Structures are given as C-alpha cells and as structure tokens.
Structure 1
Amino acid sequence: MDLLDSNHWSDLHALLAELDRDIAALYTEAGIEGMRTRFVGPLIALHRFGPMTIRELAGRRGVSHSAMSQTAAAMARAGFVEGTVGGDARTRPIDLTARAREIMPFLVAEWRATEAAVRQLDAELPYSLTQVTEDLRGLLAARSFTERLRS
C-alpha cells in the first residue's frame, strides 16, 4: 500500500467532527443563531471569571493567543462578546454581551451534558481514549513527532 493513498487517522477526525455536529445541532434546535462549538468554552470562562484579555482567555483555555484572537473576533461578529472600556486594543478585556448572558444557562447545561456523555463513553471503552491520549503524549515526550517525521 502506498502511504499517499492513506490517511490513517481520518476516521478519528471524522468521528470528532460528527460529535461536534451533534453538539452544534443542539444550538440550532434551541434557536441560538451563530453559535459555534468552539465558542462555548471561552463564553463559559467569561461567564465564570468575568472580563479577560485575549491573552488571559487563551491561557485559561489552553490555546494559542492567535487561535483565541480569531475565536474572539468570530464571537464578536456573532454578537456574543464585546470589548470593555479602558486599555488599548491589545490589552482591552472582552466580556459577554447581553445576548450571551441570556443563553448562558443553556450553554452551561449543554457543556455539563457533553462532559458527562464523553466521560461515560470513555468509561465504556475497553481502553479509554483518555488513556490513549496520555500514552501518546508519553511516546511523543520520549521521541517527538518532529523526530519521527525526519527519520
């Protein structure tokens, strides 16, 4: 088999995309226009901890500043966050809009339901995905993916 005809983990990527679509369907059913699954974690963080800069929010969510900046811009376009008064453009905190505050009970309930379902699925597996992830990280700590690509 030619490796150019292969995409070994495509089924895993497809499965994760399917789960994401199932979650997104809940927002559509609830009539929440413009909500994307990648918005929910940052929105809940802003709900729980108050206004934050992009850097602070990125740190809390464990993503790059660039990724959070793009997400925050998309959330602002969708009407879920806005800049707060004070500071310059680089350090100005963002906060929830009234629209986001209104739907927050739904988002919190969905997050909890999703986490519970994912944990249940993980527990039902003969070898949990959480353990697979931990084992992969251990292997990559011993020999990085970059090293593996170059050899």
Structure 2
Amino acid sequence: MTVLPDFESAEFAPALKALRKQLQLSRTALAAQVGLSTAAIQRYEAQDSSNIKPSRDAYERLCKVLAELQQQAGARAPASPPPRPVAANPATPVAANPAAATRSEPVLAPGILLADATLEQLIARAKLLGAKKVTIEF
C-alpha cells in the first residue's frame, strides 16, 4: 500500500510533511523509525533549493513505516485519551482542561501540546531524541 505519491512527483514533499504532521511525528522520530537521518527527512520535505529525492529503498521504507503508523493510529484512535495541557514543570501533573485537550495540535510528549511547551521542555525533548546541540533563534 502506497501512502505517498511517487518520490519523483511534485506532490511528494508536501504529502510527506502533511502525513508526518497528521501522525504527530517529529522529523527525528520518523527518521529513527525509517532508519534515515533527520536532515534527510527535512530535505525530502523541503520545497526550496535544499529539496532532494529519496532513493527507491528509502522511499519504500518511508511508505512501509508510514502505512504501519497510520494503521496503528487508526486502531488506537478511539481508545486514546485526549492530550492534557502542559504543566509549568514537566514533572507536575496538570488538571485536564477540556478546551485545551480537544485541540488538534502536534504533541511533544504524552500530555504536552507542542504549542504549549516551555523552551526547557522542547530542549529536553530534543536531547531525549538524540540531539547533541540545540540552537534557538528568535
């Protein structure tokens, strides 16, 4: 089952990015599951001069992993609880806020919406996913 347009197609890059975001995966998480680098995923998704096309093997692995993740997401969707809002301290639990919990935003970790995460939580998550260095620009 092919979940992405052909890698030579102009629709490949936006489709890959949209599907990754729909599955609430970071580039790093997807790269780890597929056996690629985070930079490769970023460049596959790019719609500028840094865009590259995956090899046939990388494309097939991407399709296989994404199809499996779609099936898992579909199977667990009814049973999964809605995400909870972020605590100021990641170790401190937060009372569920139904309005915040129903938003469909990327999730940093169970119970932490990416949009609500603190800078420290984002850095900690990046390091947990294997980042050696985190650079933040404003």
TM-score > 0.5, shorter chain as reference:
no
- Higher helix residue share: 1
Q: TM-score, normalised by structure 1?
A: 0.29
